[in-house]
């Protein structure tokens, strides 16, 4: 037994959505045997744009029953039936959330007529209810009203059930392991199945082919599936309009992060939030205390009039100072890696030559600090990061030239890398941004052994 359902709502997202009308047709696979249709008082304002679409306004539902009043009827009406709807996850989740607020459980097996239509009527440009009804000559009256759309879905479902071998298709779709009920309604299963379980980036695209979300993953297929299981409002809305998924392999996480950053800046996808906001910047600076000792320290860049170098997190600042401290024999206390101590005892920086214990002169210590300042001010790093490639036959390269991120590329594994000229033909130049600088700087600080220096 099936219950074909359609609802109209206030349109305030998934979790804030309130039902304004519901229509349910009980269908035995041959004919309609019972119907339940009702306006619903959402107990909140109905936005004017929703009224313009459905014709349902505040006055029309003023004396209608609330969802709490008709919930017992919906539960009994749909009991031991399969819940069928066009884009089933939307209707099902709105009802489930409404019931959850009432302290009621709503669990039914589901079938989506969008996904079923894709399987039995392949090749159509659109699988919206209106377009399908027009293409299949299904009468559709009172569009965007619950009863009109639900009745049209019944007629569509009848056509679906009349196609050859449909029993196997329905059984497959009802199988919890098939993922048919989990995938976005407009996304062909073949699009998901072609995704690799490798590191790279992926793109969610809408019906116009526009990138609406770009992400990176160590396992593309697993990460994409995670979006489909996510019940947050943003994820549900994004998946509803996803019609295509593309991907690019990266081979390793650093290149995947750089590719993702470029994609977000290039496409500015609707559902990406990260990297659209400003990244807080920090600066390394120096000062002299009352004893004449030169200090290295860090602070937010807005508080530093003459920054020596710019970094993008407190962790990066500390890692940078740890390297400088070790390379030039400086004191962790006077590099502000340890606060409130008499003598330095940093766990990653070897003990200094004694400035904090009175065993080294101020002049001698300051000379080392000035050498470090000279390095920070004038050294422009030129190095190549060699990382895992997209397959066993290649390596991935990330290039930093004159202290700036230059780009990334992929080279055959046997390629000898000694200079930029050796690999320039393989590298795709990229514009440095705050995010890419932060990514490369952070990686370089943590993976000194993977850097291949070259002379510019």
> CA dihedral defined by 408, 412, 418, 422, rounded to 10 degrees?
-70
CB atoms closer than 10 angstroms to residue 33: 10
Question: What are the backbone angles phi and psi of residue 143, rounded to the nearest 5°?
Answer: -60, 140
Which of 102, 88, 123, 79 is closest to 18 using CA atoms?
A: 102
Q: For this structure, is 346 an active site residue? A: no
86, 144, 295, 336: the catalytic one is 144
Which of 119, 115, 141 is closest to 130 using CA atoms?
A: 141
CB contact at 8 A, 387 and 364: no
String of DSSP letters for 285-320: EEEE-TTS-EEEEEEEGGG-SS-SEEESSHHHHHHH
Which of 410, 404, 414, 440 is closest to 423 using CA atoms?
A: 410
Distances (CA, A) of 56 to 50, 103, 378, 412: 7, 27, 69, 64
- Measured CA to CA, the distance from residue 119 to residue 428 in angstroms comes to 40
Which of 279, 281, 195 is closest to 244 using CA atoms?
A: 195
- Measured CA to CA, the distance from residue 145 to residue 256 in angstroms comes to 45
Question: How many Cα atoms sit within 13 Å of 197 on the Cβ side?
Answer: 2
> 323 exposed, middle or buried (CB, 10 Å; 0-12, 13-18, 19+)?
middle
CB contact at 8 A, 120 and 258: no
Q: What share of the chain is helix, strand, coil (3-state, %, to 5)?
A: 40, 20, 40
- Ramachandran assignment for 129, one of left (phi > 0), alpha (psi -120 to 50 degrees), beta (any other): alpha
Active-site amino acid positions: 144
């Amino acid at each position: 037994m099936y219950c074909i359902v359609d609802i109209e709502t206030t349109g305030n997202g998934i979790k804030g959505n309130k039902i304004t009308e519901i229509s349910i047709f009980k269908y035995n696979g041959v004919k309609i045997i019972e119907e339940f249709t009702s306006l619903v008082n959402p107990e909140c304002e109905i936005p004017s744009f929703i009224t313009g679409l459905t014709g349902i306004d505040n006055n029309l539902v003023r004396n209608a029953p609330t969802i709490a009043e008709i919930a017992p009827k919906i539960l009994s009406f749909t009991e031991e039936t399969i819940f069928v709807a066009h884009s089933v996850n939307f209707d099902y989740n709105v009802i489930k959330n409404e019931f959850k607020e009432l302290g009621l459980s709503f669990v039914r097996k589901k079938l989506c007529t969008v996904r079923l239509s894709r399987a039995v009527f392949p090749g159509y440009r659109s699988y919206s209810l209106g377009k399908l009804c027009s293409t299949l000559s299904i009468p559709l009256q009172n569009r965007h009203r619950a009863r009109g759309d639900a009745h049209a879905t019944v007629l569509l479902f009848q056509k679906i059930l009349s196609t050859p071998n449909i029993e196997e298709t329905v059984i497959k779709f009802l199988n919890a392991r098939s993922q048919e009920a989990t995938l976005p309604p407009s996304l062909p299963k073949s699009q998901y199945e072609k995704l690799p379980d490798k590191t790279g980036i992926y793109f969610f695209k809408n019906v116009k082919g526009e990138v609406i979300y770009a992400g990176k993953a160590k396992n593309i297929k697993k990460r994409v599936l995670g979006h489909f299981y996510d019940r947050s409002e943003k994820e549900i809305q994004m998946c509803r309009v996803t019609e295509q998924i593309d991907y690019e392999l990266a081979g390793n996480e650093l290149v995947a992060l750089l590719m993702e950053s470029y994609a977000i800046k290039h496409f500015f996808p609707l559902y990406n939030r990260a990297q659209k906001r400003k990244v807080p910047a920090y600066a390394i600076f120096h000062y002299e205390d009352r004893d004449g000792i030169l200090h290295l320290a860090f602070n937010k860049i807005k508080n530093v009039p003459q920054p020596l170098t710019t970094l993008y997190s407190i962790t990066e600042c500390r890692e940078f100072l740890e390297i400088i401290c070790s390379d030039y024999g400086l004191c962790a206390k006077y590099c502000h890696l340890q606060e409130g101590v008499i003598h330095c005892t940093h766990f990653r920086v070897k003990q200094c030559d004694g400035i904090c214990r009175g065993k080294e002169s101020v002049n001698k210590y300051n000379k080392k600090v000035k050498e470090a300042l000279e390095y920070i001010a004038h050294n422009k790093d030129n190095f190549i990061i060699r990382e895992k490639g997209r397959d066993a036959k290649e390596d991935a390269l990330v290039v930093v030239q004159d202290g700036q991120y230059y780009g990334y590329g992929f080279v055959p594994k046997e390629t000898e890398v000694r200079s930029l000229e050796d690999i320039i033909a393989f590298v795709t130049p990229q514009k440095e941004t705050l995010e890419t600088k932060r990514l490369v700087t952070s990686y370089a600080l943590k993976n000194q052994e993977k850097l291949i220096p070259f002379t510019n």
